[in-house]
Amino acid sequence: MKQYVYSLKLLRSLSLVVAFIMGNYVFAQTLENGLKVHYTFESATDGVVPDASGNSNDGILNNNATVGVSDDGRNVLVLNQDSGYVEIDPAYGSDFATYSDFTVATWVYLDEQGYNARLLDIGTGRYNNAALTPWFYGNQVCQLKIRNEDIPDADVVAANSAVPVNEWTHVVFTLQGTTGTIYMNGVAVGVNESVTVNPSTMGINTSNFAAWIGKSQWVGNGDSFLKGELSDFRIYNRALSQSEILNLAGLPEELTTAFDNLNPAGLDEVTSNLTLPEADGNVTIKWSSSDTTIIDSVGNVTRPEKFDITVILTATLSMESNGKTYTMTKKFDAYVLALSEAEDLVAQWDFAEDDIDFSNPDAITVTDVSNSGFTGTLHNDAKIRTIGNTNQYNVLDLGNGTGYFDMGTDIGKDIYQLGDYTISAYYLVEEENTDIGSNGNFIWCISNTDDIDADRNGAMIERLTDHRFSITPTIYGGDQQAVNPGVNPASTDGWKGKWHHVLYVQSGSVGTVYIDGDVAATGTVTNLPSTSLKKAGMEGTLFNWIGRSCYTADVYLKNTLVYDFRLYGKALSEGEIQLSSPFGIGLDVYSVLDDLNTAYAENKDASYPDELDAEYENLDLGDLSNLTTNLTLPSQGVLDNSITITWSSAPGLISADGVVTRPDYLDTDVKLTAVLSKRGYKLTKEFIATIPAAEATKYTSDMLIHFNFDPSNVNGDVVTDLSEQHFKGSLMKGAGSRVLKGTTDFGVLNLAGDSSYFDMGDEVGKVIYALKDGFSISVYYFIDPTKDNFTSNGNFLYAFSNSDSSAAYKNGYLFGRASYNTYAISPYRWDNGQVGTTGLDAAASQGEWHHYAYVQDDTLGYIYQDGIAIDTATVKKWPNTTIPKSGMVGTTANFLGRSNFEGDVYLAQAMLYDFQLFNKKLTPEEISTMSSVSDDLYTAYLLSVPVKDVKVDDSYRVDTSIPGLIRIYDLKGDEKVSVYNITGRLVTVRNSENIYVDRGIYIVKVNSQVKKVFVK
């Protein structure tokens, strides 16, 4: 099949020579036939644009729409505001409602790709209209959508790209019968051969007819007005031919003739080098190939080894005329025969017992039964299930989490060679599946990447949500092609719990989706694996999955069974799909579905090995309450030695073969997990072992971590904590130690930069893994009053986490947040199991020192601010039971001033003092005593900061013009007034307008606002 793409290399400054366009008299006559609306935009009188077709379908300029002359001399409609448009005479509706075929044509120069803006929106409301959109948000391409409100889904004709901005483009839509086509600059760029609605069947109400150029009938719902210029706007009551469209686009006749005449011979079955023409008169022709390893740019052919391949050859025709360069491109499919004839069946997985290898329970493999012998692997909670009693079938059970089947990379090499092909599978979605309507749910996904949003390099998928097949060389959107039956299983009664069959056939340029053996939808698909998926430098698709999407945010296909996945290197006929054949080719879909449904109704799960239960009950490790020696951990069952047993521990202090490592610092509870496996079925049994700390490292006090930041504890960027373990932390990204000098000097952590923080190091994470139901955390903090993102996500005082990217890795943490004085702990992340306190109703005040404390007392968590208990919550998750992960011995992301969630803001523009972690429950009295230090910190801060830096509020006046006297004015009378001398001593204030003091520097504090003043 030939495909055509055309582009004009014309700058905006080039002029449109109307005489040249209309130079062919025959075409000029032809282009008058069926012309119903024609706006040349040469003039407008009293806001009326005359209709040059002679049918009096004049247009009305609305709002800011005007007519004028473009930079290159065209007569144009100018739409450069947010409300301008042209309204075609409503009387035109009675004529338009009679059309079965029609054409819309215009030149357009877009200033921007506005959200769902319209070149034309014509009909009677949102659900009885035809809308031509240069850039549609959903697929980001130019498209025409035509609908009748009695039909649930609109018919869509989508181009392979959007109308470009900042250049003149000729855009045409034609409807002829059921075939809708979009042309850009004379060439078809989008086709739908299954359009069911036309103007005569739209259900147009002529009394409510609207036809708008530049305005959407959905404009009140967010659609944009068009911004740009239009020229030579036309509507016909027939479909123009491509020759007529090329003539409208203004191409030289010699170029269009060469374009029409170019048709290289011998492309149907290529077995030898090709002769590709290089010129036709004054027209030069250059060639390119979609796969130069098969056909290069001069026609040399290297035949593939195994499968016939379709290669797209692109001819670029160029010609100069009147100082301008015109360029057209024409594409041809070259079908290159393979050196040897491959078998039709490329791969088949029917999951029969003899093809399954259960020897590794964590990576069960299944060999396909074709002669290819590909090996696929079950991942995560996917397993093999047997259904039925009388006739049993092994099926792939995708589980209820992230289970999927990886067909391997070898099959991808064959996929890169496919032209015609068929993909087929039986499936059953069980009643427990509640996510079938969500994005994802791919029964198969064949892709060059496992993150197509990032890599945008091609995939071929079948989505059970609506049985939609799609293939794209990049990502969903402009260049994606799809065949969509529009079947929504989630809303179909009786669909779940029954076996179904889905199959896609590619035959030439026609794609067809079959559901349960019958044709469900068909459409034009020219994206082939051999041309659209194949990428330079790659040998084949790398990610070939059943049940998993290549879009990372998509859901897996859960609670679903799959049987008999097949890939053919040919297009199966309808007979081969529906019926069996004496040669074993036919799928016999109807009969197989009956057999599968009978087996499932008879026994949904006939494969669970009861011996697993007996082995589970028999497994016992004895007393683990004081474990100091290695364990003997069985690797197979005692009652049934075909059962495999694997072991893991969290923390990772017990190896898979039973070697015990005593922890540092604190006695630690370890969750030891046994996984018993047989035939893909698994049972998990957990044991709790308490391992005493190594004697040489044991704590003798309750102080576990104490970072003070006094200069005596700082050596360069390294800070030593004051606990008996002397952990080493690091000042990061500009963080530093600062001394606040007052009555008492304080060494504080200064987090001045936007990304400054303190890394407490990995070693402290071992302590976190051992914390139980009685511990306390204390820290003082100061937030600069100029910090403007204090309420944003982040602003953590401290974080102890298994990852510095908890949003991505979801593997457990605890943290305290300064903004609202909260505490949180989770085994995963915020949306799965996080508990904690809610803290303050509003953000803590900035510009003051505060004291934060958290106390874990059995199952209650207490938050204190400045010595006062502000919140109590049930917190049944303790660090030692919530955070430890298999193979790890402690949290690895242990920060002050930084969040463990990527994207969160750092605490920044802040100071911290005296971070402490206790292995005990602090009493309210102890916390109250600790909080009083905040006042001394505040005084030291005020005395350490230059006067200009602490002047915070001008709502009151301080007068020191009289020696020995401070006078405060503009007070309301209910303020708390305090005055401090340079030593931090409080001055008695009896009358705020007459405060007698000695000569010197003083701090005046009114409520939380401060000023530093000098008294003579």
Q: How many C-beta atoms surround the C-beta of residue 922 within 10 A?
A: 24
For residues 409-415, average pLDDT: 95
Looking up residue 646, the CATH number of its domain turns out to be: 2.60.40
Q: Looking at the structure, tell me whether residues 378 and 456 fall in a common domain.
A: yes
Q: Looking at the structure, tell me whether residues 210 and 262 fall in a common domain.
A: no
Q: Looking at the structure, tell me whether residues 514 and 425 fall in a common domain.
A: yes
CA-CA-CA-CA dihedral for 938, 939, 941, 942, to nearest 10: 120
- 954 confidence band (pLDDT: 50, 70, 90): low
Q: Looking at the structure, tell me whether residues 495 and 520 fall in a common domain.
A: yes
Number of domains in the chain: 6
Q: What is the pLDDT of residues 238-297, one digit of tens each?
A: 999 988 898 888 888 888 889 889 999 999 999 999 999 999 999 999 999 988 889 999
Contact 472, 463 (CB under 8 A): no
Q: Looking at the structure, tell me whether residues 888 and 1004 fall in a common domain.
A: no
Q: Looking at the structure, tell me whether residues 691 and 705 fall in a common domain.
A: no
For residues 126-155, average pLDDT: 85
Q: What is the pLDDT of residues 660-712, one digit of tens each?
A: 999 999 999 999 999 999 988 889 999 999 999 999 999 999 999 999 999 99
Sign of the CA dihedral 576, 581, 583, 586? Answer: positive
Burial degree of 131 (CB within 10 A; 0-12, 13-18, 19+): buried
Instruction: Extract the tokens encoding 140.
Output: 């980001």
Instruction: Extract the tokens encoding 426.
Output: 């039986």
Contact 312, 333 (CB under 8 A): yes
Q: How many C-beta atoms surround the C-beta of residue 256 within 10 A?
A: 23
Domain boundary among the residues 571, 602, 633 is at 602
Give residue 14's pLDDT.
Answer: 27
DSSP string, 488-533: -GGGSTT-TTSEEEEEEEEETTEEEEEETTEEEEEEE----IIIII
Give residue 757's pLDDT.
Answer: 98
Q: Looking at the structure, tell me whether residues 692 and 704 fall in a common domain.
A: no
For residues 900-921, average pLDDT: 97
Looking up residue 469, the CATH number of its domain turns out to be: 2.60.120.200
pLDDT at 1 over 50: no
Enter the DSSP assignment of 880: H
Domain boundary among the residues 602, 637, 655 is at 602
- 422 confidence band (pLDDT: 50, 70, 90): very high
Q: Looking at the structure, tell me whether residues 691 and 712 fall in a common domain.
A: no
pLDDT at 4 over 70: no
For residues 900-923, average pLDDT: 97
pLDDT at 479 over 90: no
pLDDT at 478 over 60: no
Listed range (216-230, 272-286, 443-457, 934-948) with the worst mean pLDDT: 934-948
Q: What is the pLDDT of residues 765-821, one digit of tens each?
A: 999 999 999 999 999 999 998 899 999 999 999 999 999 999 999 999 999 999 999
pTM: 0.59
Contact 993, 969 (CB under 8 A): yes
Q: Looking at the structure, tell me whether residues 847 and 909 fall in a common domain.
A: yes
Q: pLDDT: is 996 or 487 the higher one?
A: 996
Q: Looking at the structure, tell me whether residues 664 and 810 fall in a common domain.
A: no
Q: Looking at the structure, tell me whether residues 746 and 864 fall in a common domain.
A: yes
Residue-range definition of the domain harbouring residue 672: 611-696
Q: Looking at the structure, tell me whether residues 456 and 493 fall in a common domain.
A: yes
Domain boundary among the residues 569, 602, 635 is at 602
Give residue 944's pLDDT.
Answer: 77
- 584 confidence band (pLDDT: 50, 70, 90): low
